Structure 1
Amino acid sequence: MMHIRETVEAPRRLRSRRARLLAGAMVLGTAGVLSVQTLVPNQFAFADPVKIDVQGPADFSPVVQAVQPAVVSVRVKQAVEPKMMNFDGGNSSGPFGDMPQDHPLQRFFRQFGQQGQQGNGSEQHRKPRQYGMSQGSGFFISEDGYLVTNHHVIDKGTEFTVVMNDGKEYDAKLIGADKRTDLALLKVDADKEFTYVKFADDAPHVGEWVVAIGNPFGLGGSVTAGIVSARGRDIGAGPYDDFIQIDAPVNRGNSGGPAFNMKGEVIGVNAAIFSPSGGNVGIAFAIPASTATNVIGDLKNDGSVVRGWLGVHIQNVTDDIAESIGLDDASGAIVSSVPEDGPAAKAGLEAGDTILSVDGSKVKGPRELSKIIAAYDPDTKVEIAVWRDGKEKEIDVTLGKLQDSNKVAAAELTAPERTSLDDLGLALVTAEEAGLEGPGVIVAEVADEGPAAEKGLRPGDRIVEVAGVKVESPTDVVGALKGAEENGRKAALFRLESNENTRFVALPIKIG
């Protein structure tokens, strides 16, 4: 019997022990703050568990009510240039956007495009100039009417209208724009003080709440919320990519609008979305406040952004390259070529040098080098550390000025010294008068209904050649036109440079 009782009691003791363990586990689940050492003593030495007391806001209305009056819709009137469908593997400009080469509608549009090219090119077939309208977002940064938006919102715009949250409309003028960072500054002149917002001084933390306000699909004053998903994103938009990624729903029309933190400060300017369909998928990108503050300050003061220029062509340092030149890790930017007469060439930098740092700031790669150099003013002397012949070498370089063919400063391009060619609908200034360097003559103004406008000329275009003659001044342009007329020409071929591209345009010879 004793043996039997022990046999029976053993499972009972086991069940009792198991019950006590389960009870302990329930206490642990309820308390949630017992340390690991309580359960497994003398085996771990973890710190006390992290306690999070911060809670998300119950609603965003206090922030929205405070900042929404500063956010506007930006309506832009644009000249529409006729474009042919691209059937050579490039992007289509047709109504369906990008169309694969093997799409069944390609044959239809190819036939339509060929039919559209027929005609004798006479005046009776010339279509009147057409205009389109685009919309984006923006926000006031001062009570006297300065407001920020994206460069791509105002690009090619001829008129700008700001629509307030209460529906009131104001005309705006373009102060300046910077294509490299996709920022632009407009100004509204009105007899009133505008509600405005300020840029945040501190970068946001990943996971921080963010509120986006803008004009998606023309629905002005739309508010969405999310968090900061990541920082320092490079999306291939330009050499100075440093985007904040957010998951607040942002769509077409939000471009140029602000992304706010919970203090009502602007942490970024919404600029791009990642979307296979064109709609929101929870991945949007904003230009950081730190970048916007510097760029907008330059645009306000000078109408353009002045950047330092090193004068080198660079590429990434791969693991193989690092090993071949004796570097411990694949960092820095290797110089692939050094253009003649540039700051780097004058200082003695050579192809094959690997740039490691600038004034002590480490260079991780080409993108970091571009951003570091661009932050300096021209004529600044910097100390560049390079890796050459298996050892580090210091080289002093006096930076030059990075030329920007996309400079936008309407006030400068309408100087009194301009030369008007009324029959062509053009006003011209020298590059020097426009504040630009390099050869050619700058288009200061284009009349809405003139031949130049019909051919797509825009303020800021650089005329480098007319009828085969290189031109340096408006007088040269007039002389080249007269020479072509004397040779029996009815039109003169203009070679133009804009947006780092070259194109030819034939204009009728009509000079006063």
Structure 2
Amino acid sequence: MRKGFGIVAGILVLGLLAAGPARAQLPDFTGLVEKNSAAVVNISTTQKMSSAERELPDGMELPDGIPNDELFRHFFGDGGGEPSEVQSLGSGFVISQDGYVITNQHVVKDADEIVVRLSDRRELVAKLIGADKRSDIALLKIDADNLPVVRMGVSESLKVGEWVLAIGSPFGFDHSVTAGIVSAKGRSLPSDNYVPFIQTDVAINPGNSGGPLFGLDGRVVGVNSQIYSRTGGFMGLSFAIPIEVAMKVVDQLKSQGYVSRGWIGVQIQDVTRELAESFGMNRPKGALVSKLLPKSPAQEAGLQIGDIIVEFNGREIATSASLPPLVGMTAVGDTANLKVIRQGETKQLKIKIGMLPDEDHPVVGMHKAPDVVTNALGMAVSDLSAEQRAQLEVEKNGVLVQSVKDGPAYDAGIRKGDVILRIQNDTIRDMKHFNQVLKDLPKKKSIAVLVQRRGGSLFLALKLPD
């Protein structure tokens, strides 16, 4: 009997020991919310919009009961009608007792009036100190004193799987609290190359934009900015701007009213498995330089097309998305150290960081040229006329792709209108040289082809059959 009792008691103890740590891992957010929610604000804007600006795409309707908030207006609009004043909602948080507030740029974009509602229900008209489109950060100022403020944390210390919490105003419901975990760090989104986003599964909905993302220590680690959604609502993919990035932007907006970013003047792309093979690399890594802008810091530093940047100031560049945020956050005028792989050899370069110019993405058209030749790759190419060079911004060298049919070129991603600038290490001078190079290409091996497309350049991996 004693023996049986001892076994049962042992099982109960083991059960309690097993359950204890599991319960301890679940965080209690109540203290964090009580301490920080007063510093989170609701932001509403008023904007005069024409009917054309507010039209939805054909066949799309917003569900009944959804307010005309900043996210839906930002992406869709709210239908037709006469020009009117449109209101939007967002979130923000107070960073100084004298009234500086952080929010998203898209929350206050084109607003005629910005109103900040505090936790004590006061509503104050805010002044826009500055906004930065590339980081989606805006700095506001309200006339108030002794305001509750948040404390700043360090997003770099976050670990994937760590708990985080958001406070904001989804759909206008003030001070709503949602929690989740860090899903990934350093995410790059197509429209935001200079922000290494924190990805979370925290429920973020329209109206949460601009609100704070807290770590378990009650410090702000990010600014909630975007969601990935096919419905307009939360689908488990939320993205926050790291607080270090946001505060660097805020400091510049406060001191000079605009943001200057580091720039080296290259166009880059990822190294695929096929491209890694063509460059003699054991595995894909780094940022492949596909274009150098004239008179840029990169050109002056001696970077070459085809170089693969694998380190920037000692930081490893795993993918091309890793490089722009590091360059952008480097002070203009500083000298940075680059580690590159060039034709299989490792080189060290020094580069003086320039200032990122205004965005300019010209799109050029396709213009027919004579003397078209079809080759074994399944495409027709021609020499470029002087007019075509001017319109396509190709100073010298290269051949123009006139058509592409099923074959190795099409499979590689080459399309009509591309300008083929280089094959492996051979710069293509003209159509005659192009055909000569083709004769010597190896079979069944990945070959790097540099093409220019719509003003940009990229490497494609081409493989010839037997």
TM-score, normalisation: structure 2: 0.65
Cα distance, 1:257 vs structure 2: 0.7
Tell whether 2:36 aligns with 1:62.
no
Per mean C-alpha deviation after superposition, the further-off stretch among 289-298 and 177-186 is: 289-298
For residues 439-465 of structure 1, the C-alpha deviation after alignment (integer angstroms, 9 at most, x for no partner) is: xxxxxxxxxxxxxxxxxxxxxxxxxxx
SS in 2 for 1:166: coil
For residues 52-91 of structure 1, the C-alpha deviation after alignment (integer angstroms, 9 at most, x for no partner) is: 48725775332222211111111112231442899xxxx8
Cα separation, 1, equivalents of 2:7 and 2:239: 45
Contact 2:51–2:83 under 8 Å retained in 1: no
Flag the 1:338–1:23 CA change in 2: closer, same or farther, 3 A: farther
Structure 2 residues not aligned, in runs of 5+? 64-78, 361-466
Per the alignment, residue 414 of structure 1 pairs with none
Contact 2:196–2:325 under 8 Å retained in 1: no
Cα separation, 1, equivalents of 2:283 and 2:27: 48
Instruction: Look up the equivalent residue of 2:179 and give its one-letter code.
Output: A
Cα distance, 1:278 vs structure 2: 2.2
Cα distance, 1:129 vs structure 2: 5.5
Decide which of 276, 284, 304 is 1:330's aligned counterpart. 284
Cα separation, 2, equivalents of 1:355 and 1:260: 34
For residues 172-215 of structure 1, the C-alpha deviation after alignment (integer angstroms, 9 at most, x for no partner) is: 1111112112111111123x221111211353333433332111
Flag the 1:314–1:52 CA change in 2: closer, same or farther, 3 A: same
Per the alignment, residue 394 of structure 1 pairs with 348
SS in 2 for 1:382: strand
Instruction: Look up the equivalent residue of 2:131 and give its one-letter code.
Output: A
Per the alignment, residue 203 of structure 2 pairs with 249
Cα separation, 1, equivalents of 2:203 and 2:316: 36
Cα separation, 2, equivalents of 1:281 and 1:339: 40
Tell whether 2:45 aligns with 1:76.
yes
Decide which of 132, 148, 155 is 1:195's aligned counterpart. 148
Instruction: Look up the equivalent residue of 1:264 and give its one-letter code.
Output: G
Aligned pairs for 1:13-412 within 5 A: 30=12, 32=14, 52=21, 55=24, 59-83=28-52, 92=57, 96=61, 130-190=84-144, 192-201=145-154, 203-404=157-358
Cα separation, 1, equivalents of 2:62 and 2:358: 30
Cα distance, 1:399 vs structure 2: 1.8
Instruction: Look up the equivalent residue of 2:147 and give its one-letter code.
Output: F
Cα distance, 1:95 vs structure 2: 6.2
Flag the 1:54–1:231 CA change in 2: closer, same or farther, 3 A: farther
Instruction: Look up the equivalent residue of 1:364 and give its one-letter code.
Output: A
Per mean C-alpha deviation after superposition, the further-off stretch among 335-344 and 73-82 is: 73-82
Between Structure 1 and Structure 2, the one with more strand by share is 2
Cα distance, 1:94 vs structure 2: 7.8
Cα separation, 2, equivalents of 1:197 and 1:164: 14
Alignment RMSD: 3.3
Flag the 1:227–1:323 CA change in 2: closer, same or farther, 3 A: closer
Contact 2:50–2:82 under 8 Å retained in 1: no
Cα separation, 2, equivalents of 1:84 and 1:144: 36
Instruction: Look up the equivalent residue of 1:78 and give its one-letter code.
Output: Q
Cα separation, 2, equivalents of 1:300 and 1:139: 16
Cα distance, 1:226 vs structure 2: 3.1
SS in 2 for 1:286: strand
Identity of aligned residues (%): 40
Contact 1:212–1:258 under 8 Å retained in 2: yes
Contact 2:317–2:323 under 8 Å retained in 1: yes
SS in 1 for 2:24: coil
Contact 1:83–1:93 under 8 Å retained in 2: no
Instruction: Look up the equivalent residue of 2:329 and give its one-letter code.
Output: A
Number of equivalences:
340
Contact 2:51–2:82 under 8 Å retained in 1: no
Cα separation, 1, equivalents of 2:38 and 2:25: 24
Q: Which has the larger radius of gyration?
A: 1
Flag the 1:206–1:318 CA change in 2: closer, same or farther, 3 A: closer
For residues 130-174 of structure 1, the C-alpha deviation after alignment (integer angstroms, 9 at most, x for no partner) is: 331111000100001001001110111122110112221111111
Per the alignment, residue 427 of structure 2 pairs with none
